[in-house]
């Protein structure tokens, strides 16, 4: 009986020792090859995403009437982060340019009010 017990405990000790000696060896394996291959993969994925974003944004600019060679040059100026942000929501981004239209609308309203006789802003009209 005592012999059997010591056999079991010996096996357990051997197993634990082998496990503990295995763990660092395994970690060393991960840090070298797998990490490098992971980084290469991440870089490739980013490259492909950047390429797709570039194509998306360029196509959208052309749809909006920007000449093809201008669109090409403009997209080339954007950083990867800017491209990805644009590719995600280019239609929702504000496009500034409308001051004259607003002034026109306000002026029209004033003019109509004046002509109808509600206001008397332009005394010379």
Q: Which residues of this chain interact with other proteins, rule CB under 8 A?
A: 61, 63-66, 70, 73-74, 77-79, 82, 85-86, 90, 93-103
Q: How far is the CB of 111 from other proteins (least distance, A)?
A: 18
CA-CA-CA-CA torsion sign (64, 57, 87, 96):
negative
* CB 53 within 8 Å of CB 87: yes
Q: Provide the phi-psi class of 117: left if phi over 0, else alpha when psi is between -120 and 50, else beta.
A: left
Q: Which is nearer to other proteins, 94 or 117 (CB)?
A: 94
Q: How far is the CB of 56 from other proteins (least distance, A)?
A: 14
Q: How far is the CB of 114 from other proteins (least distance, A)?
A: 22
């Amino acid at each position: 009986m005592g012999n059997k017990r010591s056999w079991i405990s010996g096996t357990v000790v051997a197993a634990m020792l082998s496990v503990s000696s295995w763990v660092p060896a395994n970690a060393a394996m991960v840090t070298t090859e797998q990490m490098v291959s992971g980084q290469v993969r991440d870089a490739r994925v980013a490259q492909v995403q950047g390429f797709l974003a570039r194509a998306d944004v360029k196509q959208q600019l052309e749809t909006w009437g920007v000449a093809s060679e201008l669109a090409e040059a403009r997209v080339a100026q954007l950083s990867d982060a800017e491209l990805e942000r644009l590719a995600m929501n280019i239609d929702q981004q504000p496009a500034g340019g409308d001051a004259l239209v607003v002034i026109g609308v306000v002026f029209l309203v004033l003019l109509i009010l004046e002509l109808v006789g509600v206001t008397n802003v332009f005394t010379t009209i």
